[in-house]
Amino acid sequence: MKKSLGANTIVPTTPVWVVGTYDKDGKPNVMTAAWGGICCSKPPCIYVSLRKATYTYGNIVERKAFTVSIPSETYTKEADYFGITTGKKVDKFAATGLTPMKSDLVDAPYVKEFPLILECKVLKIVEIGLHTEFIGEIMDVKADSSVLNEKNLPDIEKINPIIWNAAAMTYHKVGKGVGQAFSIGKEI
Amino acid sequence: MKKSLGANTIVPTTPVWVVGTYDKDGKPNVMTAAWGGICCSKPPCIYVSLRKATYTYGNIVERKAFTVSIPSETYTKEADYFGITTGKKVDKFAATGLTPMKSDLVDAPYVKEFPLILECKVLKIVEIGLHTEFIGEIMDVKADSSVLNEKNLPDIEKINPIIWNAAAMTYHKVGKGVGQAFSIGKEI
């Protein structure tokens, strides 16, 4: 018999994604979101869900573009900072010493020091409730050579991304591999 | 200088969620999806993105409900099986020996043996491209007592969920905690 925990959003696993935008004056901003994911393969799309109160919300509505920069574990502290401060009041790049890079494909900046980034144009805006979902078409994925394997694919252990654990409000590493997909299930 | 990998969806991290539905004859079905996440806090909502070709797609359109059951690492093989087979041809519960439980809140079944489950009513259907996004309002989250901590919150290490690594098509464990959110960023 399972125990009811009520209607909440404490559900593993969610990513730690850093959303990059420009404000109306061209100031680069970043915020951390755990409510993001892949939502279509053709065209390739991701979404991020944001409250209207965030600075990033207005920036995306204005510029119709955003990036996602995936922090490696090394940058857990910076990722947390990006989530607890607002671009309305601080210059988050200046405060952390990280570098905003202008995307050459979309009207948004990404974090140079983070190993994997996505450049997105807004395809759809879905009003849900407190949160609005921005669905962005991925124009390109870019990665540091240091995180690519021999097939030029990003290696999750080299990226060393972090995961958001809502229940305990902690960040976690990705652990060891436990099986090959489209393969181990064939034993059944 | 980052290397362009093209427009694709090889982006960490994504979850391993098992979507439960009934078909038109009342047969319980499950499929594994990595393209799911949280998308609103009020009302609490998650989404799963599915191709029209899946059996689950038709079931959700018909019943306007689905569950998500989170497999622990112990059930990696079953989760993979749920992703590589179709309910059009097989009874996945019978094949794996797992138990379909009827939700008492929504018109969908969940996997009894999996430690954490969500019961959802469809709130919005968003056509994107090859994939359709089903946004479900979470009516309840239920968990086995064995995965709850002293505050009655689900403990990610006890749930022991798995993560989908698209680049290498492997499943991974969640690794060790690396920082307290809304806290370590204050050092900056």
Instruction: Name residues of chain B where pLDDT drops below 50.
Output: none
Distance CA A23, CA A83 (A): 17
Whether B5 sits inside 8 A of A37 (CB atoms) is no
- In this prediction, residues A173-177 reach a mean pLDDT of 96
Judged by a CB distance cut-off of 8 A, whether residue B97 touches chain A is no
Q: Show which of residues 98-157 on chain B sit within 8 Å of chain A, judged by CB atoms.
A: 116-118, 123-124, 126, 128-131, 133, 135, 137-145, 148-149, 152-156
Distance CA B163, CA A159 (A): 15
Position A117 confidence tier, pLDDT thresholds 50, 70, 90: very high
B13 prior amide bond cis, ω within 30: yes
DSSP-H helix ranges across B44-123:
55-63, 76-84, 92-96
Per-residue pLDDT at A68: 98
Instruction: Give this prediction's pTM.
Output: 0.97
Tens of pLDDT, residues B46-82: 999 999 999 999 999 999 999 999 999 999 999 999 9
For residue A132, is pLDDT > 90? yes
Identify any residues that bridge with A132 across adjacent strands, giving them in sequence order. A50, A127
Strands A28-33 and A131-143: unpaired
Measured between CA atoms, how close is A165 to chain B, in angstroms? Answer: 7
Give the distance between the most distant pair of CA atoms in chain B: 58
Per-residue pLDDT at A1: 85
| Amino acid symbol at B85 | T
Residue of chain B minimizing CA distance to A6: B140
Helix (H, G, I), strand (E, B) or coil at B74: helix
Per-residue pLDDT at B67: 98
Per-residue pLDDT at A24: 95
- In this prediction, residues A82-86 reach a mean pLDDT of 96
